[in-house]
Structure 1
Amino acid sequence: MTDAPVAHPYGPDPDQYADLRLPAGPTPPGGWPVAVLVHGGYWRSRYRADLMDPMAQDLTARGLATWNVEYRRPDRHGWDATTRDVAAALAALADLDTALDPARVVTLGHSAGGQLVARLAADAAADPAARVRPALTVSLAGVLDLVEGHRRRLGDGAVQLALGGTPDDVPDVYRASSPAARVPIGLPLAVVSAADDDPDLLATGRSFVAAATRAGDDVVVVDGPGDHFAVIDPASAIWPAVVEVVQAAVRH
């Protein structure tokens, strides 16, 4: 494995970059499978991509390239900038001068990042010209129903602050952004939850899984022990189950 990640800008702002890590050894035929990581933090700027570094290191050691995305958060730049950045970071994989396999890309988002990657999947499924279409989208303790998240005041009102209003104020923004409103997503999904997480956050996950299943989406549900951060901790008891769904998605 490379000793340090290499930062690749996908835009001019200091927060528009992703860290690429490559496994050690010869490149496999067709290129490396890729895990795209999108951090959470209730869309607030004080939380950064380094939250995902331990899982990036673990997945790279297991033979996946990792693309750990930083992005502009809405508290400083607005909701549209956040949405555009995560989409641009995914598309930028296609421009890298590196042997990556575009057919074996898995996106993993933690907490608020779970919402961002689930929206990415819905947008990619609806766009015939999408440059990268994930083989699997993994929500790790994700905020998957924004209307319900607003109602329950997740993160001290983080949903309303991030989206710029309530569901009544900006209904079109909620319809476009909330994974629960986008079902069927149209691409394979995994929803990972830890039993000791915030009960209100867990409720948004259950709401999404029910809606996606009714709509005919392919959803794998992974439940296990731990708190909100166990799902991104390679030392946790639930981590092997996360690895299993990722490896199954990129296996030839």
Structure 2
Amino acid sequence: MSEVPVDVPVIVGPGVVADAALLAQIAGRECAALGVRGTLVHARDASHLLSLVRDGAVVLPGPEAEVRALIGRPLGAVVWVDAHRADGVEPGEGASHLHGRGLSGLSWGIRHALHRVRHTPLRIPYGPSRDQWGDLYVPEGVPRPPVVALVHGGYWRSIWAADLMEALCADLAGRGFAVWNLEYRRPDTHGWHATIADVATGLATLHTPRPRPSGNTARDAHGHGNPAHDDNPARESGPGHDRDDRAGRDRGDALGPNPGPNPGSDPGSNPGLDLGIDLDLDRMAVAGHSAGAQLALRAVADGARAALAVSLAGVLDLVEGDRRWLSSGAVAAAMGGPSAAPGERPSGDADVYGAGSPLLRVPIGVPQLIVQGAADDLDLIDFGRRYAQAARRAGDDVTYLEPPGGHFDVITPTTSIWQAAAEAITAALA
């Protein structure tokens, strides 16, 4: 673990449209919650901003072209935060780009920057896209640790990414688990089939024996030791490349390079991708948050190997999720476009709900932990309760927890709801 920095520099680029006092309040509140000092500086121009940038800095670049050109330069472990949506931005080696979360993105950027200083997981790509990778965290001093694979949520929208789960990664590693934090292509920019295929492939990756990676096949979370994906001729042509590829199989068949084994096959004793890390893959939980829970449970239903499937505030009924216009139509938008009329299925895939909705896939034949905060969206509470009942009736072994807590409390390590979930995961994998 790296030493915690004395302060987190927050740099506001010229032309950023936001109240200066509010930005200072957001940064100060977040740094205080994390137990670090923060400094906030408004850059006059691109040269001034460049002089302020260093590893661990959080930068709101703003609209000016000269400043935005700096995002792609190799300036170290910088976290660039765009309050507005900015698809396709390629940060320089070692940097990250968060976007589309409004001013709350500044809070997420500070958390992400501090996490990157404190923890250095091994980043392992499983495909050529910049969104096809997982971060592997290995606990210190634990021989052959059990594994928890995490699938982040965000209602299948690309403004949300794997940084959502970083606090859980640190907490679970501290509990003696190896953690596989999975990133994947989201359907708003790549189509539903790409998302399903990526989650299936990403989960299979840990079970896939591979050569020990050299500096050009794996990298740490700062991006060191990995070639630019732009040099890869197999890389997709751009956002939306496979949106119209409806010939893809909706059951999650692995696409692209390194697809991994058939999820139902027996890979034998696998020493953690031949990294010299011996993982206990027979004790592996697959856990997803919100929409990520739908992806995780669907992957397990399709045959991904798991000793436990975990839903954290999951979207577990896609039919009702669409009918109730959950998160402003997130279900229909992810799965092929808006419904023809309220309650009707998207026209692109007649069986997409049947294949994708966890409620319609029971039994899945794997023990399950369903965690739902009592203060969350009432529809999610309804989905969680009805799913647990349906899965039990179908013969699945299901534990249902509904302690006090909201939607993000289930992925916040300091909350009682996460403590209860973590204890249940630990007991199930003991």
Question: TM-score range with shorter-chain normalisation?
Answer: over 0.9
Counterpart residue identity of residue 59, structure 1: L
Give me the whole-angstrom Cα distance separating, in 1, the residues matched to 2:182 and 2:131: 9
Aligned pair partner of 2:140 in 10, 16, 24: 24
Give me the whole-angstrom Cα distance separating, in 2, the residues matched to 1:249 and 1:59: 14
Query: Unaligned regions of 5+ residues in structure 2, if any?
Result: 3-118, 209-272
Give me the whole-angstrom Cα distance separating, in 2, the residues matched to 1:123 and 1:244: 27
Determine the structure 2 residue equivalent to 1:134.
Answer: 306
Determine the structure 2 residue equivalent to 1:214.
Answer: 393
In the TM superposition, 1:1-252 aligns within 5 A as: 3-25=119-141, 27-28=142-143, 31-95=144-208, 96-97=273-274, 98-124=277-303, 133-165=305-337, 166=339, 168=345, 169=347, 170-251=349-430
Determine the structure 2 residue equivalent to 1:128.
Answer: none
Give me the whole-angstrom Cα distance separating, in 2, the residues matched to 1:244 and 1:84: 31
Give me the whole-angstrom Cα distance separating, in 2, the residues matched to 1:58 and 1:249: 17
Name whichever of 89-98 and 2-11 sits farther off.
2-11
Give me the whole-angstrom Cα distance separating, in 1, the residues matched to 2:381 and 2:330: 16
List, as ranges, runs of 4+ consecutive aligned residues in structure 1 with deviation greater than 6 Å: none
What is the SS of the residue equivalent to 2:169? helix
Counterpart residue identity of residue 332, structure 2: Q
Mapped contact 1:21–1:60 kept (Cα < 8 A): yes
Cα drift, residue 209 of structure 1: 1.5
Q: More helix by proportion, 1 or 2?
A: 1
Mapped contact 1:135–1:250 kept (Cα < 8 A): yes
Q: TM-score, normalised by structure 1?
A: 0.92
Which entry has the higher C-alpha Rg, 1 or 2? 2
**1:103-160 deviation digits (Å, cap 9, x = unpaired):** 0100110000010111011111xxxxxxx51100000000001001111111100000
Name whichever of 242-251 and 8-17 sits farther off.
242-251
Give me the whole-angstrom Cα distance separating, in 2, the residues matched to 1:15 and 1:147: 28
Give me the whole-angstrom Cα distance separating, in 2, the residues matched to 1:40 and 1:202: 16
Q: More strand by proportion, 1 or 2?
A: 1
What is the SS of the residue equivalent to 1:52? helix
What is the SS of the residue equivalent to 2:302? helix
Q: TM-score, normalised by structure 2?
A: 0.55
Mapped contact 1:209–1:219 kept (Cα < 8 A): yes
Aligned pair count reads: 241
Give me the whole-angstrom Cα distance separating, in 2, the residues matched to 1:92 and 1:245: 25
Cα drift, residue 207 of structure 1: 2.2
Give me the whole-angstrom Cα distance separating, in 1, the residues matched to 2:286 and 2:350: 27
Counterpart residue identity of residue 152, structure 2: H
Cα drift, residue 171 of structure 1: 3.0
What is the SS of the residue equivalent to 1:228? coil
Query: Unaligned regions of 5+ residues in structure 1, if any?
Result: 125-131
Instruction: Note the aligned Cα RMSD (angstroms).
Output: 1.3
Cα drift, residue 249 of structure 1: 2.0
Report sequence identity in percent: 55
Counterpart residue identity of residue 138, structure 1: V
What is the SS of the residue equivalent to 1:171? coil
